[in-house]
Amino acid sequence: MSVNFGYTISLPRAVDLDRNDFSVALRVLRRLPELESCIGCGGCTATCTAGAFTEFNFRRVQTLVRRGEYGGAYREMNKCMLCGKCRLVCPRGINTRAVVMTIKRELGTGY
């Protein structure tokens, strides 16, 4: 019989680049190599129609996916309405709508 002393073990918060599985990220980047050129300026998130009213942050979610952090990414990307304003402002010319669709396709609804 186990006794609950009220202690729990906290999982480490660090993005673990030793252990993360990059297979999905690599598949996304193979299709859209220009995504690697993101400089994180936040123009996409600033202009985002969905992000104006929800927590959706395109810059953050796609960066997490590139780091192998997929948890919740499909659900987040589903908030995108594909309006394309982010693509207009991106200084790197990244096809941001294709990024949304590719991440969703590669991850599947499980995330």
Partner 1 sequence: MKNHKVIVVGGGAAGLQAAATLKELGVEPLIIEREMQTGGKVRRWHRLFPDFTSASEVLATLEKNAEGIETLCGVMVDSIDATGVTLAGGRHIKADAMVVATGFDLFRAELKEEYGYGIYDNVYTSADIEDMLNGDGVRLKDGSAPGRVAFLHCVGSRDEKVGQPHCSRLCCITAVKQAMELRESFPDAEIYNYYMDIRMFGAGYEEMYRSAQEDGEVRFVRGRISEASPTIDGRVQIKAEDTLLGRPVKMTVDMLVLAVGMTAAESNGRLGVGLQSGGFIAPRDLFTGAVYSPDAENIFYAGCATAPKNIGETLNEATAAAVKAAEFLLEK
Stretch binding partner 1 (CB under 8 A), from 1-9, 11-19, 22-30, 49-57: 49-57
The Cα–Cα gap between 91 and 75 comes to 26
Q: Does 45 bind partner 1 (CB under 8 A)?
A: yes
Encode 31-79 in three state secondary structure: HCHHHHHCCCCCHHHHHCCCCCCCCCCHHHHHHHHHCCCCCCHHHHHCC
68 binds partner 1 (CB under 8 A): no
Per-residue contact flags (x/-) with partner 1 for residues 72 to 91, judged by CB under 8 A: ----------------xxxx
Query: The tokens of 57 are what?
Result: 């942050």
Interacting residues with partner 1 (CB under 8 A): 39-48, 51-52, 57, 59-60, 88-93
